[in-house]
Chain A
Amino acid sequence: MANKSVLFKIKRQASPSTEPFWEEFEVEYRPGLNVISLFMEVAVNPVTRAGKPTTPINYDSNCLEEVCGSCAMLINGKARMGCSALVDNLEQPITIEPFSKFPVIRDLQVDRSVLFENLKAVKAWVPIDGTYALGDGPRILPQVQEQAYQLSQCMSCCCCMEACPQFNESTGFVGAATIAQARLFNMHPTGKVLKQERLAALMGDGGIQECGYAQNCVEACPKDIPLTRSISDVGGDVMKKAILDFFRT
């Protein structure tokens, strides 16, 4: 059998201030390859398809099981995780680029810290009194747990934000992931004590109103999190709060 190979090209960038450039690679095909294992091959033999020596590719990764959220990138134009992108399912040459809406650090590494800042802004936590012994947690019915668990699987990969047409510098939109987390903590029997503060953080410019209902987020989410449902749910709560606030003043 002839040796099959895998062709792929990567949009690279040496630093935030330098120009991006493309490099093409070819590695030997094996069954079961994913995009990350292509990068591992390049690290062992850092040579382009044209035979030019180059440097290993820089990319964020950790668990390689699609639970840590690290290796998000654009693969054939789609925002997704590199680890679960199997070569067998991808058209070649595979095009691999860094996310376009986040500052590039180097090659495929981008700065996604904005999401963690947003989570701070909406107080995405349950404000417990302390870690000392305070007895059992609240009773929660299985149906409620199942709903919470769906939302709680968000791994902060930012695919939903990359895919969203409204997530850009001019709107300053907070993005679907943060809104879904606000919903998660508003649902929790103790977490809801901060509900009004969370809603307030999602009002105004860059808040939930920026959503254009393109529904790209829910398409892109690797964890099938009900993002549009969360946006409409929290949107309703924000609306109610806005009306109540209006009559209070």
Chain B
Amino acid sequence: MATTTSRIIIVGGGLAGLSAAIKVAESGAHVDLFSLVPVKRSHSVCAQGGINAAKNLKGEGDSTWSHFDDTVYGGDFLANQAPVKAMCEMGPGIIDLLDRMGVPFNRTPEGLLDFRRFGGTLFNRTAFAGATTGQQLLYALDEQVRRFEAEGKVKKYEYWEFLSAVLDSQNVCRGICAMDLRTMEVLTFPADAVIMATGGVGAIFGKSTNSVVCTGSAQGSLYQQGAAYGNGEMIQVHPTCIPGEDKLRLMSESARGEGGRVWVPKNPSETRPGKQVPEGDRWYFLEDWYPKYGNLVPRDIATRAIHKVVHEHGLGIQGQPMVYLDLSHIDRATLDRKLGGILEIYEKFVGDDPRDVPMKIFPGMHYTMGGLWVDSDQMTNIQGLYAVGECDYSIHGANRLGANSLLSCIYAGFTAGPNAVKYAKSAPAAPDTIAASFEAERKRQLDANTRLVNNQGTENPFRLWRELGDVMSRNVTVTRYNDKLQETDVKLVELLERYRNVNLSDKSMWSNQSFLFARQLQNMLQLARVITQGAFLRNESRGSHYKPDFPERDDANFLKTTKAFFAPDADEPRFEWEPVDISLVTPRPRRYDSK
């Protein structure tokens, strides 16, 4: 036991943050855990299909090496290989641990863990708990953290917004500045190390599969404080989503893992309902184009195929941007046991029963592979500041394989937690000016609040957000053209300009959600520029990043990590490119139609 207890701040209580919290608390250090929502309500609950680990319980000869190879190949070789290998090796142990924590994983008749297939692999490698695996994993970790909380080792700050890091005169992270979402009080909190676990950036694209809190604001704030942002342009658009008025709801890849088939009517003027279209009049285009992987090609491939069928072949269902995802050939009992949770979502939000009729789906923004740049210890370029989970860029390269996100969250948390504790013990002593640094940061944030609340402009922040989402979804998702990307950046500059004229209709200082959102919007706009300009500069096609004018992968020029830094004077990003670690597997062409 340490003689003086180290204090570690963790921001974000999803799977990655809670994993880190458990490791830190177990080591004897103290955790201050900050979250926008009660941690049990974090976005990890939305993960549906499962978690990958090469347990090889199906007699297929699976191995952690195969998992590693599928992951770097699936990511089109943009991920540094050493951390990916470490993650895949940790995988089976993580599953065992989760199993011991009581996650109700689906079982075989012998009482062993069951596994199913997911995209981008030929192995049954995905452990699952019904179709709400993320929820079940998050709950298991939440329960363990509640136990540490009851023992006084973890203190939760729920309904708190991270505003910024507190950096000392040497640019070492010494704590955070945060705001109580009820009293709106702004306070600073010292720590020996800080771990960011703040998730995705979906709100930058307006509607996405992400939860409401996934704005990317924390990452945007840190980027403006000097944190490097890696591969921001790598945005995953999930092939199968249910379009909605308030958000896009995910229809898990596990639907295809359990035998779901994607098709469109061959006749563009087909008027019969899906169920009544006979087999001979259906085009199973994924099975046709990719006979080996079929419906389980990786997400970027499936998404582009659906776009092609709809936009180039003109075969969207009844002229609409939608295709069928069909489970109705599978018996109801199997569907209920393995996919119940997601079928309920479709039933509840669309009103049709997918056990009877094919679902109507379309691709939607889902995940950012890019994020805060970290080294192999999960530390950012700011000393003492770590990042884990979706908010870090490290594992998934240019495209994430399904069911690898939950694993990467836990891997990162389990790596950063102990590393942060180790760092805390040998961290350099704070300079004499440290108290002034804390006070200055608090004042900077208070001033920003005062400015925002007293602004007498004409702009509604929610309207600006709609415009942001529209332009980002239109130009910076599946298909990217340089002229459109330039147009988008011009629009983002305009939105930043108009943001100065934001006028809040609610100026109260008690639990003011629109005030909070307006604060986040500024960080979202800055990060949107990183994503857009990163896409503009990468003149190749790799993984999720697809430019028809540059259709091939270009390893000679772009087998590199994009690193964006904020240039305060220019008020925009500047870019550097870093070589990728390819020490373990030599990049090869990525072809799912042959392999």
Contacts and interface: CB of A to CB of B under 8 A. Distances in A.
A212 interface: no
B518 to A, nearest CB: 10
A136 B96 contact: yes
A116 B159 CA distance: 14
Interface residues of A, number: 70
B136 interface: yes
B453 interface: no
B505 A119 contact: no
Interface residues of B, number: 70
Interface in A195-238: none
Contacts of A188: 102
Interface stretch (A40-48, A91-99, A165-173): A40-48
Nearest to A112: B38
Given A131-B26, A152-B104, A62 B505 contact: no
Contacts of A127: 147
A106 B466 contact: no
Nearest to B136: A152
B106 A145 contact: yes
B245 A33 contact: yes
B213 interface: yes
Contact of B212 (A32, A64, A116, A124): A64
Interface string A118-131: 01100111111011
Contact of B99 (A40, A136, A153, A191): A136
B245 to A, nearest CB: 4
B514 A190 contact: no
B367 interface: no
A76 interface: no
B102 A190 contact: yes
A145 B99 CA distance: 11
B106 A120 contact: no
Contacts of A142: 106-109, 111
Interface string A72-110: 000000000001101000000000000000000110010
A225 B43 CA distance: 22
A190 B100 contact: yes
Interface string B451-472: 0000000001011001000000
A140 interface: yes
A68 B96 contact: no
B143 interface: yes
A178 interface: no
B100 A128 contact: yes
B130 interface: yes
Given A44-B460, A63-B43, A137-B100, A149 B129 contact: yes
A137 B104 contact: no
Contacts of A86: 349, 351
A131 to B, nearest CB: 6
A103 to B, nearest CB: 11
Contact of A128 (B101, B250, B351): B101
Contacts of B513: 56, 58-59
B557 interface: no
Contacts of B522: none
A162 interface: no
Contacts of B510: 14-15, 106
Given A128-B100, A139-B110, A141-B111, A68 B211 contact: yes
B209 to A, nearest CB: 9
Interface string B253-288: 000000000000000000000000000000000000
B150 interface: yes
Nearest to A60: B37
Contacts of B99: 136-138
A124 B147 CA distance: 8
Interface in B12-54: 22-23, 26, 37-38, 40-43, 45-46
Interface in B227-265: 244-247, 249-250
Contacts of B97: 128, 131, 133-134
B108 A56 contact: no
A125 to B, nearest CB: 4
Contacts of A59: 513
A104 B149 CA distance: 25
B511 interface: yes
A53 interface: yes
Nearest to A127: B147
Interface string B134-161: 0110011001101101100000000000
A146 B23 CA distance: 30
Contact of B147 (A36, A125, A136, A146): A125
Contacts of B2: none
A105 B212 CA distance: 19
B92 to A, nearest CB: 10
A152 B466 CA distance: 37
B37 A116 contact: no
A25 interface: no
Contacts of B140: 126
Interface of B: 22-23, 26, 37-38, 40-43, 45-46, 93, 96-102, 104-112, 129-130, 132, 135-136, 139-140, 143-144, 146-147, 149-150, 182, 211-213, 244-247, 249-250, 337, 341, 345, 348-349, 351, 414, 460, 462-463, 466, 505-506, 508, 510-514
22 contacts: A36-B246, A46-B506, A54-B505, A55-B508, A60-B37, A62-B213, A65-B250, A68-B40, A69-B40, A126-B100, A126-B140, A128-B97, A128-B100, A130-B26, A139-B112, A142-B106, A145-B105, A152-B104, A152-B139, A153-B130, A153-B135, A155-B40
Interface of A: 14-15, 30, 32-34, 36-37, 40, 43-46, 53-56, 58-70, 83-84, 86, 105-106, 109, 113, 116, 119-120, 123-128, 130-131, 133-142, 145-146, 148-149, 152-153, 155-156, 185, 188, 190-191
Given A62-B213, A149-B129, 16 more contacts: A44-B462, A44-B466, A46-B506, A58-B513, A63-B211, A65-B250, A66-B348, A68-B37, A68-B45, A69-B41, A105-B511, A124-B143, A133-B93, A141-B107, A145-B107, A156-B38
Closest 5 A/B residue pairs (Cβ): A137-B99, A139-B111, A55-B506, A125-B143, A126-B102
